């Protein structure tokens, strides 16, 4: 530790020295490293601007407008009700970020990132939702001092105060989650097969996208969604619409106050734990352990912090969840520690296709809880 501290202190002094920076640029290898580091620092500095370029493109529906083919600046300006010179500034910025691409002298088409964003409708929904986070982050120190009035916490208030939940709020926010839930469901089930399992209990399962996908893939499975009453209604509606009501049902309740129903041999917590503080998470894990059959499997999927699989994701969720008013992203080591304290063993990281969205973890009940 002492040696490491000495080395890191030397490194920090060198990196902080303008003379050092000037001299390394003379050597090709060091120049490459220095340029890469400068680039990374620039991206962090400019990140807020990049986000707003994307937000403006989404607000103007530019990716949808260009999906049919190239359009001129004047056509786009008329369609977006913006002056040509103002819109052109956005188009050029978006082209620098590969969201758009210049086409000929005066036309524009989708860039590869703009085209890819159309394949993930959850992105546009999250970008629209982000204006709340950005307004909170306009004054980061104020937010860190006092988050009680943050725009995001007002938005999510109903989720932490189930007594105040409104059907309209439930629907609005469940739609937002459902946008990305099908990608998550696919990823989770590709990394953790439920073959041979009897019954899934999806705690905080929202409008039932994950449970419905599991039912479609595993014909012998039954599934129950446990969520706030207004949300559980939406899951029941989905099962009925998709002809899955024979095997799928939903139960309204409060996962922090009510006992979880017994009988399932898989209990899933998909994007749940990181929304809540440690005491609630410990209570929920213990409740899952009590409800779990001896041959059961606990399935967790959520974004992890401190993971080489997705550097930077933890930074995003630390700030987002702080502004939201509860929760934090956790490292694999921390989740393992909490699972073991709640009576689980054999904690495994199963990976995922999209570590930016989730990592898939499983655990089994310990022999003696
Ligand atoms: C972040 S969303 C995750 C939804 C879904 N699992 C997914 O991955 O899209 C959190 C879910 O937990 C539910 N929830 C929040 N507080 C709850 C509570 N006290 N009891 C039951 N469900 C709750 C919300 O209604 C919501 O569906």
- Its ipTM equals 0.99
Instruction: Decide the pairing of beta strands 266-270 and 71-72.
Output: unpaired
Tell me the Cα Rg of the chain: 24
pLDDT in tens, 119-150: 876 788 888 889 899 999 999 999 999 999 99
- Tell which wins on pLDDT, 41 or 180: 41
Residue 158 has pLDDT above 70, yes or no: no
Is residue 264 very low, low, confident or very high in pLDDT (cuts 50, 70, 90)?
Answer: very high
In terms of Cα–Cα distance, which of 325, 293, 323, 309 is closest to 359?
309
Is residue 259 very low, low, confident or very high in pLDDT (cuts 50, 70, 90)?
Answer: very high
Residue 160 has pLDDT above 50, yes or no: no
Cβ neighbour number for residue 164 with a 10 Å cutoff: 10
CA of 3 to the centre of ligand 1 (A): 46
Residues 128, 265: Cα–Cα separation, whole Å: 38
pLDDT in tens, 49-64: 999 999 999 999 999 9
Residue 369 has pLDDT above 60, yes or no: no
Lowest mean pLDDT segment, chosen from 30-34, 141-145, 198-202, 241-245: 30-34
Q: Which CATH superfamily is domain 175-365 in?
A: Vaccinia Virus protein VP39 (3.40.50.150)
**255 close to ligand 1 (CB < 6 Angstrom):** yes
Which residues face 72 on adjacent strands? Answer: 107
CA of 132 to the centre of ligand 1 (A): 20
Structural domain spans, the chain: 19-118, 175-365
* pLDDT at position 161: 47
Is residue 172 very low, low, confident or very high in pLDDT (cuts 50, 70, 90)?
Answer: low
Tokens of 321: 């969840």
Q: Which residue has the least CA distance to atom 13 on ligand 1?
A: 204
- Tell which wins on pLDDT, 45 or 22: 45
* pLDDT at position 182: 78
* pLDDT at position 303: 95
CA of 124 to the centre of ligand 1 (A): 21
Residue 360 Rama label (left phi>0; alpha psi -120 to 50; beta): beta
Q: What is the mean pLDDT of residues 275-304?
A: 96
pLDDT in tens, 239-249: 999 999 999 99
Residue 231 has pLDDT above 90, yes or no: yes
Please say whether the beta carbons of 313 and 281 come within 8 A: no
Q: What is the mean pLDDT of residues 233-254?
A: 96
**162 close to ligand 1 (CB < 6 Angstrom):** yes
Residues 202, 250: Cα–Cα separation, whole Å: 9
pLDDT in tens, 316-330: 999 999 999 999 999
Residues 354, 356: Cα–Cα separation, whole Å: 5
Which residues face 302 on adjacent strands? Answer: 359
CA of 79 to the centre of ligand 1 (A): 38
Residue whose tokens read 């439920």:
194
Catalytic residue, candidates 130, 191, 274, 276: 274
CA of 207 to the centre of ligand 1 (A): 9
Q: Is this structure's pTM higher than 0.90?
A: no
**181 close to ligand 1 (CB < 6 Angstrom):** yes
Q: Which residue has the least CA distance to atom 22 on ligand 1?
A: 227
Q: What is the mean pLDDT of residues 188-217?
A: 96
Alpha helices, DSSP H, located in 61-166: 62-67, 73-80, 84-96, 112-118, 121-137, 140-145, 151-160
**233 close to ligand 1 (CB < 6 Angstrom):** no
3-state secondary structure of 88: helix
**228 close to ligand 1 (CB < 6 Angstrom):** yes
* pLDDT at position 9: 82
Q: Is 274 a catalytic residue?
A: yes
CATH topology of domain 19-118: Arc Repressor Mutant, subunit A (1.10.10)
Return mean pLDDT, the chain: 91
* pLDDT at position 164: 47
Instruction: Decide the pairing of beta strands 266-270 and 297-302.
Output: parallel
Q: What is the mean pLDDT of residues 113-117?
A: 92
Residues 6+ apart with CB under 8 A from 341: 282, 285
Residues 167, 234: Cα–Cα separation, whole Å: 10
**148 to 3, 145, 199: CA distances (angstroms):** 43, 9, 40
């Amino acid at each position: 530790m002492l040696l490491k501290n000495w080395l890191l202190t030397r490194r920090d002094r060198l990196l902080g020295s303008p003379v050092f920076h000037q001299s390394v640029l003379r050597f090709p290898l060091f120049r490459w490293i220095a340029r890469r580091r400068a680039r990374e620092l620039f991206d962090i500095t400019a990140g807020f601007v990049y986000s707003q370029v994307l937000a403006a493109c989404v607000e103007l529906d530019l990716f949808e407008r260009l999906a049919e083919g190239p359009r001129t600046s004047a056509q786009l300006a008329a369609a977006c009700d913006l002056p040509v010179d103002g819109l052109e500034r956005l188009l050029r910025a978006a082209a620098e970020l590969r969201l758009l691409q210049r086409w000929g002298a005066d036309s524009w088409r989708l860039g590869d990132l703009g085209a890819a964003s159309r394949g993930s409708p959850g992105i546009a929904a999250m970008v629209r939702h982000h204006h709340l986070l950005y307004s909170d982050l306009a004054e980061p120190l104020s937010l860190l001092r006092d988050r009680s009035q943050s725009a995001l916490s007002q938005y999510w208030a109903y989720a932490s105060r189930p007594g105040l939940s409104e059907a309209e709020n439930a629907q609005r926010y469940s739609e937002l989650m459902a946008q990305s839930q099908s990608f998550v469901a696919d990823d989770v089930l590709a990394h953790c097969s439920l073959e041979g399992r009897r019954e899934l209990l999806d705690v905080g399962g929202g409008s039932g996208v994950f449970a419905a996908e599991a039912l479609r893939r595993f014909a012998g499975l039954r599934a129950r969604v446990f969520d706030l009453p207004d949300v559980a209604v939406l899951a029941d509606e989905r099962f009925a619409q998709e002809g899955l009501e024979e095997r799928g049902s939903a139960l309204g309740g409060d996962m922090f106050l009510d006992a979880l129903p017994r009988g399932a041999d898989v209990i899933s917590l998909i994007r749940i734990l990181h929304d809540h503080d440690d005491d609630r998470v410990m209570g929920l894990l213990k409740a899952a352990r009590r409800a779990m059959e001896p041959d059961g499997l606990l399935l967790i999927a959520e974004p992890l912090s401190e993971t080489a699989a997705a550097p930077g994701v933890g930074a995003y969720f630390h700030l987002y969840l702080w502004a939201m008013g509860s929760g934090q992203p956790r490292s694999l080591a921390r989740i393992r520690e909490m699972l073991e304290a709640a009576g689980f063993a054999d904690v495994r990281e199963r990976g995922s296709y999209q570590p930016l969205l989730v990592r898939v973890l499983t655990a089994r009940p310990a022999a003696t809880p």
